[in-house]
Amino acid sequence: MKIRSPIVSVLGHVDHGKTTLLDNIRGTAIAHKEAGGITQHIGATEIPIKVIEEICKGLLEKYSIQRIIPGLLFIDTPGHEAFTTLRKRGGSLADLAILIVDINEGFKPQTYEALNILKMYKTPFVVAANKIDKIRGWKAHKNSSFLETFEKQVPKVQQSLETKIYELVGSLHEEGFNAERFDRVTDFTSQVSIVPISALTGEGIPELLTLLIGLAQQYLKDQLTIESDSPAKGTILEVKEEKGLGTTLDAIIYDGVLKQNDKIVLLTLEDVVVTRIRSLLKPKPLEEIRESKTEFKRVKEVVAASGVKIVAPGVKDVIPGSPLRVAKDENLEDIRNEIRKELEEVKIETDKAGIVIKADTLGSLEAVIKLLKEETDVPIRVADIGDVSQRDVIEAEVSKNTDEIYGVILAFNVKILPSAKTILEESGVKVFSNNVIYKLIEDYVDWMKEIKERRKKSLMESIIRPVKIRILPGFVFRSSKPAITGIEVLAGKLKPGYNLIREDGNVVGTVGSIQDKGKNIKSAKKGQKVAISIKGGIIGRNIEEGDILYSDIPEKDYKILSKQLKNELTADEQETLEEIVKIKRKVDPTYGTGYSLS
């Protein structure tokens, strides 16, 4: 058994300094090459503990941090796309994450996106509050610790930084996280540490690395313990063509050992594929690449945690985010089934009506499904990896026939194939496309709300709403054919076409036109006094001056009002509706039974 290096991923909004931070850590490590240098992996950079000790300048001793782990393995591709690709069953491949935020700009769309993904995968993280060197009046002290450089700033600059830190604390609190500046954290298991840094000047990076080492050793020791001689487990980061090599796989190995000639099991869109490793490649140090003109050197084996390039036949259709397992003849079928099951757990294919989701990797598909389910109860008909195809449009069109809000394709980081584009317009299927997951879901949810509001409005317009009026004494202008009289609206909104009933349940006629000061109007609301014509009404026979009349609500409309539109009624409309129900039940005791406003 041995302890491997924790895998660290850097996430954050575009231009907030993810690449600069990685470059700084790598660059500083290269500058300390006399202490052991760095090991450049495929897709990752390993910073040995000896180099970290040099960068941290005694901070490991200051905080009594033992050196149990061999170093930190930083994933070279920053951002949440790489993070979601780096998945394994039940969580993320990254053991730790750095959420980088521009201290001067605060939270931005991709910051929230990254936070959602960290929350979803339950990945421990620290916040790097970057660009402290851009605070007005800041005096930079290259590569020094934050606490040292902070002490040397004037009080006004210190106060400015504190204000910006507490704005970040507030943003994190709104997202459900208890956060504090790293040196004020009292419980690392329940509080998120904020480390102010400058990825440009290197200020604060010693504390950032110290914190990562401390967190890894304190809380992740069990998951970092591996059997270095057991068959490898890993994840495919990228599938790409290399000149002279053909299709290659960039993989991160997080457990065991991977050897040349190993039989490996991988995932394609259709099924699993079994192949044998021809070559394992690691990058050469920069100076060697310059001398030999080749980027890679062949190795016989790699031990976790490690990034490696794999050359093997038949891997063209392997999907990014695919699990990688080494198999022996005796357990090949078990591993094949295990990996197949992993795809089935994420993919969705049903006959029920629902939306279609397409994403670029297994991890991003998983994230879209999970975040959608948190935001809505919309069913999913198809969830799959790959570009939007003609079949996807047809599937969405079938769902659209059940409900317009299901005739939708959510496309994350994928293209629409030409064959799909040709039938898309006439199908009426709506495609939402974005490379930020929460924005993709937000756009769909907003559109869905608009549709529902429009439907609700249309429904409200089409049904008879509760209305209560009083015939004003002394304002009868014609007694019949039609009766024309002054009325006051006591509750609700009166419209032409409404049938009117008396308090005994008898129908007295239908509202014709409504006039206010001699002009026809479309409706009259509570408090208005207007003149109306009543077809079928005869003043002095079935209507008397001073009578209270109500709108005659058909039972089907009452069911809609009590089930779907209850919250759309005003308090006086709800009260009037209850009165109408009592009146209707004098004539028909079964009216509206089984439905209630309460």
Convert the pLDDT of each residue in 315-325 to its tens digit. Answer: 999 988 889 99
Mean pLDDT of 326-333: 92
Locate 447 and state its tokens: 């559109």
Question: Residue 578 has what pLDDT?
Answer: 92
pLDDT grade for 243, boundaries at 50, 70 and 90: confident
The answer to which of 160-164, 280-284, 331-335 has the lowest mean pLDDT is: 280-284
13 known ligand binder: yes
CB 250 within 8 A of CB 240: yes
Q: Is the pLDDT reported for residue 554 higher than 80?
A: yes
Q: How far is CA 497 from the centre of its chain?
A: 47
Q: Where are the domains of the chain?
A: 2-226, 233-343, 352-452, 468-587
Residue 262 has pLDDT above 90, yes or no: yes
**The one catalytic residue among 32, 41, 80, 141:** 80
Range 2-226 has CATH code 3.40.50.300: yes
User: Environment class of residue 243 by beta-carbon count within 10 Å: exposed (0-12), middle (13-18) or buried (19+)?
Assistant: exposed
Q: Sign of the C-alpha dihedral, residues 369, 373, 376, 377?
A: positive
Q: What is the pLDDT of residue 477?
A: 94
Asked whether residue 321 is marked as a ligand-binding residue, the answer is no
Above 90 in pLDDT, residue 93? no
| pLDDT one-digit tens code per residue, 371-397 | 898 889 999 999 998 899 999 999 999
CA separation for the pair 200, 130 (Å, rounded): 9
Q: Quick check: do 233-343 and 468-587 share a fold?
A: yes
* Tokens standing for residue 100: 């980088």
3-class SS string, 68-117: CCCEEEEECCCCHHHHHHCEECCEECCCEEEEEEECCCCCCHHHHHHHHH
286 pLDDT more than 80: no
pLDDT in tens, 362-377: 888 888 898 898 889 9
Name the DSSP letter for residue 142: T
Rounded to an integer, what distance in angstroms lies between the CA atom of residue 350 and that of residue 346?
13
CATH superfamily membership of 352-452 = Translation initiation factor IF- 2, domain 3 (3.40.50.10050)
| 15 annotated ligand-binding residue | yes
Q: Residue 287's pLDDT band (boundaries 50, 70, 90)?
A: very low
In the predicted model, is pLDDT for residue 590 greater than 70?
Answer: yes
- With bands split at pLDDT 50, 70 and 90, how would you rate the model's confidence at 169? very high
For residue 77, say whether it is annotated as part of any ligand binding site: yes
Q: Are 19 and 78 in contact (CB under 8 A)?
A: yes
The CATH superfamily holding the domain 233-343 is Translation factors (2.40.30.10)
- Fold annotation for 468-587: Elongation Factor Tu (Ef-tu); domain 3 (2.40.30)
Predicted local distance difference test score (pLDDT) of residue 583: 94
Amino acid at 415: K
Burial 457-471 (b: 16+ CB within 10 A, else e): eeeeeebbbbbbbbb
Q: Does 141 count as an annotated binding residue?
A: no
Q: Work out the mean pLDDT of the chain and round it to a whole number.
A: 88
Mean pLDDT of 399-421: 94
- Using 50, 70 and 90 to split pLDDT, how confident is the model at 102? very high
Characterize the bridge pairing of strands 348-349 and 380-385.
Answer: antiparallel
Q: How far apart are CA 562 and CA 571, in angstroms?
A: 14
Which pLDDT score, from 0 to 100, does residue 289 have?
41
Report the relative pairing of strands 44-48 and 71-75 from DSSP bridges.
Answer: antiparallel
Say whether 132 counts as a known binding-site residue. yes
For residue 41, what pLDDT is reported? 54
48 is in an annotated binding site: no
User: Is 173 an annotated catalytic residue?
Assistant: no
